[in-house]
A and B are shown apart, each in its own frame.
Chain A
């Protein structure tokens, strides 16, 4: 059943040092659609999506994530439903090997080791990375790091995923692999918001366009 994953209303966020404001009057992101966020460099796209998942908290306005007020939820709680892929994947890879990366969060949360192993194997297989399980995370290419970061996010059964310029620095082959991943997530019913200017991404993910201009959201 499609549902509203994120609803950001009358939100204002100001950067204290530059005074740059990002204003969003009303934005709804649903689980049955892929939203493409476009805009010039520095227009506020990343800020908008960081507001959408509670990384940044607006000075005013409301944010509802799956119907619950995000102000009353910790980032950890939000993360059980919403995933976020940073522009630089290295910043969100924490373990020495691919396998450790997939399994260590489950270990910290005290989950059943068999269930963790099963899910990690299935995700690595799906992302064509099972044969790399013993590889060092820092020996992976940028495209592989992107895929591993997404796979690691999916270790939680999230319902919405935000991707911040995932195609930056990827060659044609890696872009193709990433688009396949995005399409498979769409088929799983995971809603996606994606910042990108890449033609391949625009063609596959342009169901809903959100344009950001000078800090204002123009849908």
Chain B
């Protein structure tokens, strides 16, 4: 499955994220998460990179779940302190569901991130997506780590100018973060100008269509995956609505 056509991986990502948005029961969401993890693993998703990135989002996932748990106040009361119901059944279920939903969406992005960018561009252009658009998508994805590095450098250098972030008052901290965005945005504008000039100098965009050195063709295994995964997904949707 590692060598599946990128279009099939894209199909997998679209279906999995759609199901994640559709399902609103934690049990179904759990089944979806496990299925996505398994299929993604066979597709070659890099678990190490994914879980390292997931750790950064843990706080956000936790806050999202906590907000649902605290503010959804229907169903049976599960945790009661001094007569005050803190956690309700529906709140807990919705909190778990939402956290898993974000998990699935993040994971499906990791599946695409593990794919070779040249293959993705080739497959998108073969799907008649204008190649300029395909390049823009891939370059955006490639640039994300560079933005992160630029932001981290700015953060480091502002601290090395004697700013102890923990000691800065909240209002001033907001002002400080505003300043941090300036070098990141300026840096990215400068980089994108350089990149577009370099690409135009190499003839990018001179003609509306372009030939491809690598042509990606759908194989039997791709068609098989498409049929099996479509049937499974259709079955899951039907089962979900029938059992509601």
Chain B CB within 8 A of A153 CB: yes
| Chain A residues closer than 8 Å to B154, beta-carbon distance | 91-92, 94
Which of A78, A93, A109 is B160 in contact with, Cβ under 8 Å?
Answer: A78
| Chain B residues closer than 8 Å to A80, beta-carbon distance | 162
Verify A108–B157 contact, CB threshold 8 A: no
Verify B153–A108 contact, CB threshold 8 A: no
Verify B160–A91 contact, CB threshold 8 A: no
Closest CB in chain A relative to B227 CB, distance in Å: 38
Chain A CB within 8 A of B217 CB: no
| Chain B residues closer than 8 Å to A109, beta-carbon distance | 162-163, 168
| Chain B residues closer than 8 Å to A83, beta-carbon distance | 160-161
B residues at A contact (CB < 8 Å) = 150, 153-154, 156-169, 172, 175-176, 179-180, 182-183, 186-187, 190
- 8 residue pairs, one from A and one from B, having the closest CB atoms: A76-B164, A92-B157, A79-B160, A75-B159, A94-B179, A156-B162, A79-B162, A80-B162
Verify A94–B153 contact, CB threshold 8 A: no
Verify A76–B179 contact, CB threshold 8 A: no
The CA-CA distance from A102 to B153 in the complex, in Å, is 19
Which of B167, B172, B187 is A76 in contact with, Cβ under 8 Å?
Answer: B167
Which of B150, B160, B162, B182 is A94 in contact with, Cβ under 8 Å?
Answer: B182
Chain B CB within 8 A of A74 CB: yes
Chain A interface residue count, CB cutoff 8 Å, equals 31
Chain B CB within 8 A of A110 CB: yes
| Chain A residues closer than 8 Å to B161, beta-carbon distance | 79, 83, 105, 152-153, 155-156
Which of B163, B182, B183, B187 is A108 in contact with, Cβ under 8 Å?
Answer: B163
The CA-CA distance from A80 to B167 in the complex, in Å, is 14
Given A105-B163, A108-B175, A109-B162, decide whether A75 and B180 contact each other with a Cβ distance below 8 A: no
The CA-CA distance from A92 to B154 in the complex, in Å, is 6
Task: Give the contacts of A75-102 with B (CB-CB under 8 A).
Answer: 75-80, 82-84, 86, 88, 90-96
Q: What residue of chain B has the Cβ atom nearest to residue A93's Cβ?
A: B183
Q: What residue of chain B has the Cβ atom nearest to residue A79's Cβ?
A: B160
Verify B186–A53 contact, CB threshold 8 A: no
Verify A77–B186 contact, CB threshold 8 A: no
Q: What are 6 of the A-B contact pairs (CB < 8 Å)?
A: A79-B162, A88-B187, A90-B186, A90-B187, A138-B186, A156-B161
Which of B157, B159, B162, B167 is A91 in contact with, Cβ under 8 Å?
Answer: B157
| Chain B residues closer than 8 Å to A77, beta-carbon distance | 164
| Chain A residues closer than 8 Å to B165, beta-carbon distance | 74, 76
Verify A90–B190 contact, CB threshold 8 A: yes
Per-residue 0/1 for A94-131: is the Cβ within 8 Å of any B Cβ (1 yes, 0 no)? 11100000001100111000000000000000000000
| Chain B residues closer than 8 Å to A53, beta-carbon distance | 160
Closest CB in chain A relative to B128 CB, distance in Å: 36
Verify B187–A91 contact, CB threshold 8 A: yes
| Given contact pairs A84-B157, A108-B168, A108-B172, a sample of 7 additional A-B residue pairs in the complex whose CB atoms are under 8 Å apart | A76-B159, A76-B160, A82-B160, A90-B187, A91-B153, A94-B158, A156-B162
